[in-house]
Amino acid sequence: MSHFTYSDNIDTASLKQGDVLKKSELLTSIISAVHPYFNSSNYQYFIILTQSCDLVKRTGSKCKSKYITIAAIRSLSDALIREAEDIATTKIERKVTQLIDEKNSTKISEFLVRLFNNNIPDYFYLHHDVSLDFVEPSVAFLRVSIALKSDLHYDDLLKCKVLELDENFQAKLGWLVGNLYSRVGTVDWVPNNIDQPAFNKMVKNQIKAFFQVLPNLSEIQKLLEKDHTSEAIEAMSNEELLKIIRNVKVPNRKEKILLRLADLITESKALKEGYDLQKLLSQIKRDPTFTSLTK
């Protein structure tokens, strides 16, 4: 049995909205003639956006629509990286897109929940299904689309059809494409198909697969900029930058207070000449009251 997003009975005689087309030599030749850019290796699948009612073959074996619109399907990682770039709050995140601050990982989680349930206008999530030879979690980029003449290419596109959406998901795709004002309901992951803990785990696993989540990236950046100019950081390769980041130790709260105390005491010139500053700091660090205040 296929994933609940897809129909178990694929109609091989006609095209429908939401049909997934696999890139082949035939489809490549069609696209090359009209939209060469769409022959990018990033596009291995396409999804039909034209309404099903306009794709029904009528008199003379022609459908109502003069054009068939198809949108590019890309990997889930591409959508996640694009979102990560949009929410990045540090130069490090903008340079190394696989790195995200711990605070931003929450935003990525929220994005994934909405994406999985197809509640983001520009995207349509397509879950992987090994039984249908669709092995990678993917996303249709609905704004990245092209139109092909139906009288010339209908039958050729039909030959490339590998997946068909369940009727409910066809309706949801239609709503997203048509930008309607009412919400079309579809079966959500929770609680209809998996429980909340399993869904949460799926979201976390996707983040873990594509990103390295680090706490305090903004502080790491400040520490880096003490020893390196912005130009030097920008000139580093991602591998070089990651190596340096892994060796950066961000002070904990207690260490920050100690550092600030050291600065304040030094700046105040309150210490007598020759007094050991480190000895004073050690005494403060061992003080039980100070320790309890900094937990």
pLDDT along the chain (295 residues), means of 10: 89 94 93 87 93 84 90 94 90 86 90 93 93 92 92 94 94 82 54 79 84 81 83 84 82 77 65 67 71 68
Tell me how many degrees the CA angle 167-109-188 measures, rounded to the nearest 5: 25
Tell me how many degrees the CA angle 89-93-94 measures, rounded to the nearest 5: 90
Q: What is the pTM of this model?
A: 0.69
Using CA atoms, how far residue 292 sits from 255, 256, 263, 289, 295, in Å, is 14, 15, 22, 5, 5
pLDDT at 184: 46
